[in-house]
C-alpha cells in the first residue's frame, strides 16, 4: 500500500467501540426523540432548548471516552503513507486524540459552535461551555447565540468538493465502521470503484452496501484493524 493514494472513510462504528453512544436506537429514535425533533434546522427553530440540551449531552460525553486501537492504527497508517486522506462522518475528536493529524469532518464537530449571526466557528469546550445554558459568541459586538456546528438532516455535508476530489483520484478506498445507510458518504465507494480503486471494508457486520467492496473484513475494528494495517504496510 506504500506509494499509493489511500482514502479512509470512517463512521459511527469506530467511535462506538470507544463507548460513544450512537444515540440512534433500533426503533430509529435518538435518546427517545425523533430525529426530526433534535437533528434538523426545523427542530432548532421550533424548540432550540430541546436541541441544545441534546447536543450539550453529546459534547459532555465526548470528554468521557478515549481513542481505541482502531483510531491509533489509522494514525499509524497515516504516518507511513505519503498520500493519505482521512474523512469521517463522526463529530467527535477521537481521531485527532488517537494521533491523526489531518481529519476531514464531513458532518461537523462537537468541539466547535457556530455563531448564528456571523457563521464564524469557535472551539468552545470549557466547563462553562458545556452546561445546558446557551453559549454566546465572541465575534459580534452584541454576542449572538451559537448553534451546534453540526450538519443536520437536510443540510449539505461539509468539504464535499475536497471529499469527492479525494475519492475520484485514490488507488485504495477503505471504509471503517459505517452502516452504508447515510448518503452521500455511503455512495463514496461507487465513486472510488468508478476509477478502478481497490475498495476495502472493515465493519462489525455486513452493512447495506457491503457487496460494493472488493475486500471485506468483519469484526470489531479495534481488534482487527491494527493487524490489517501492519499487513497493508508490509505489502
Tens-place pLDDT, residues 48-68:
999 999 999 999 999 999 999
pTM above 0.85, yes or no: yes
- The domain 21-64+108-150 belongs to what CATH superfamily? SIR2/SIRT2 'Small Domain' (3.30.1600.10)
Catalytic positions: 107
Average pLDDT value for residue range 162-182 = 92
Task: Name the percent of the chain lying above pLDDT 90.
Answer: 81
- Helix spans in the chain (H): 12-16, 35-38, 41-46, 48-62, 69-80, 94-97, 160-167, 188-194, 221-234
* CATH of range 1-20+66-107+157-235; options 3.20.20.70, 3.40.50.1220, 3.40.50.20, 2.30.42.10: 3.40.50.1220
Amino acid at each position: 500500500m506504500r506509494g499509493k493514494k489511500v482514502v479512509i472513510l470512517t463512521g459511527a462504528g469506530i467511535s462506538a467501540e470507544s463507548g460513544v453512544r450512537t444515540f440512534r436506537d433500533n426503533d430509529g429514535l435518538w435518546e427517545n426523540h425523533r430525529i426530526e425533533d433534535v437533528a434538523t434546522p426545523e427542530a432548532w427553530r421550533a424548540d432550540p432548548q430541546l436541541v441544545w440540551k441534546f447536543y450539550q449531552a453529546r459534547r459532555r460525553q465526548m470528554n468521557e471516552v478515549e481513542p481505541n486501537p482502531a483510531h491509533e492504527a489509522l494514525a499509524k497508517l497515516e504516518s507511513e503513507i505519503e498520500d493519505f486522506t482521512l474523512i469521517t462522518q463522526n463529530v467527535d475528536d477521537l481521531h485527532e486524540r488517537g494521533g491523526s493529524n489531518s481529519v476531514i469532518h464531513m458532518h461537523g464537530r462537537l468541539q466547535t459552535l457556530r455563531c448564528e449571526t456571523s457563521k464564524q466557528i469557535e472551539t468552545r469546550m470549557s466547563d462553562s461551555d458545556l452546561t445546558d445554558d446557551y453559549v454566546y459568541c465572541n465575534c459580534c459586538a452584541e454576542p449572538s447565540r451559537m448553534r451546534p456546528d453540526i450538519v443536520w438532516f437536510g443540510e449539505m455535508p461539509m468539504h464535499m468538493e475536497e471529499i469527492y476530489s479525494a475519492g475520484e483520484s485514490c488507488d485504495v478506498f477503505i471504509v471503517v465502521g459505517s452502516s452504508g445507510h447515510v448518503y452521500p458518504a455511503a455512495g463514496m465507494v461507487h465513486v472510488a470503484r468508478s476509477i478502478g480503486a481497490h475498495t476495502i471494508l472493515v465493519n462489525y457486520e455486513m452493512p447495506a452496501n457491503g457487496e460494493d467492496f472488493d475486500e471485506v473484513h468483519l469484526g470489531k475494528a479495534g481488534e482487527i484493524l491494527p493487524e490489517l494495517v501492519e499487513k497493508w504496510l508490509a505489502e
